[in-house]
Chains A and B, each alone.
Chain A
């Protein structure tokens, strides 16, 4: 490739222009899912490996479908079914996969920084499908696409409230970077133990009370309470968390009348979001999932086919490295 390998490791440092190109490309691919023949020949003869060292239904299936709809050969492997179960290291497994000459490896890993590490080890494009509590850029991009489809105003006029376990959430971090780059106002809300002060440095407004955080919001993004990433107790009980932070109809009523509610899934019903709200008229959760396929098709196309006037490789090759707040607390 003329531009060298191009990666999407995170949204930090990715320009508004590149984000917009990806959203525009995805927008034109949304209709493919409604066709009788859901297949385009663009990536014929290309190989995409989904390397998932952490469990996932949505993201892995979405990447697999996206690759197949573009005619790429896609295979998925998980750590439990790979030689990592026999004690092979992540790096050795990755080198072996790379030796089979894939064009792209999509990686999910419980350790923050795993995608960047992989990009330095192997010689193909890397897409970060979630690394620990660092970033989950494709989730944020599909959220941005879903917001843009429903909200016709400029990004700078949008107020987006993200509620929940901010410190452990790679989804919150990627959305924060993307939304701030595009110019939206971002409010973060959660109990103080899950919402470190350092997030102010990224241009977010912090709220410890969900009611005032959702007041007049255009978009509410609920995060999953991640039991598996909680090494110690951040709040007394799940019940107490739910009493203060569960998004119910009463709280939704304080937002703008045309508010939309996003959730990256999987949902803990009755903990961070009530069933009434999750299945209600403001919820766009299923659109997020549908948009995920189009967005990932757009990304695979833009990364694997060297760009003439597509996204500029540079920003995605080496985004600026800064330590995200909160990482030290969990490692």
Chain B
């Protein structure tokens, strides 16, 4: 059984609000950059950057990182065929970077993303924006910007579908046999 927790309007409003919060917290776009975490974080980062451009008239640069080879559970999850190139097309030095991901769960992805990001340079500050915070953190990590808090049980699965991947924008909670997302 799957329950829709955000539809396309809900996702659009959440990302617009996050864009406003980012601009407010950082006093504009100067020195700002967004970095999406593959796969879903990348289109979300682009959308937030476009929303910021509508608000401020300037679009912050957007990068992408793949964290597969930085995961602490690579040995447990196994090798994967699905990797993407990381691409940080700007200097990280003195930048305020907003990491963007779809779902915040255990925090291990974000830990790996911080390691990956720092290999590209030393940002002035790193903030975190997520579309969904589903709880169950295993590390001391929290998001600065949250689209929607969705209480879940570990047995459930959160599925994010985006137009960029040929689907209708939506976020679903499903009952799954194993509790990984």
Contacts and interface: CB of A to CB of B under 8 A. Distances in A.
Interface of A: 21, 24-25, 27-31, 35-37, 39-42, 70, 301-302, 305-311
A23 B86 CA distance: 16
Contacts of B66: 28
A36 B119 contact: yes
Nearest to A42: B69
A310 B78 contact: yes
A30 B84 CA distance: 10
For chain A, what secondary structure do more than half of its interface residues adopt (helix, strand, loop), or is it mixed?
Answer: loop
Given A28-B66, A28-B84, A305-B74, A41 B115 contact: yes
Given A37-B119, A306-B79, 18 more contacts: A28-B83, A28-B84, A28-B85, A31-B85, A35-B119, A36-B120, A37-B120, A40-B69, A41-B69, A42-B74, A305-B75, A306-B75, A307-B79, A309-B81, A309-B82, A310-B80, A310-B81, A311-B79
Contacts of A310: 78-81
B172 interface: no
Interface string B52-77: 00000000000000101110001101
Nearest to A71: B69
B121 interface: yes
B160 to A, nearest CB: 19
For chain B, what secondary structure do more than half of its interface residues adopt (helix, strand, loop), or is it mixed?
Answer: loop
Contacts of B85: 27-31
Interface residues of B, number: 22
Contact of B78 (A21, A39, A307): A307
A21 B120 contact: no
A120 B83 CA distance: 32
A306 B76 CA distance: 9
Most buried by B among A36, A39, A70, A311: A36
Given A36-B121, A37-B119, A41-B69, A308 B84 contact: no
B87 interface: yes
Given A27-B85, A28-B66, A40-B69, A35 B77 contact: no
B86 A308 contact: no
Interface in B80-96: 80-87
9 contacts: A21-B81, A28-B66, A30-B85, A31-B86, A41-B69, A306-B75, A307-B80, A308-B80, A310-B81
B77 A308 contact: yes
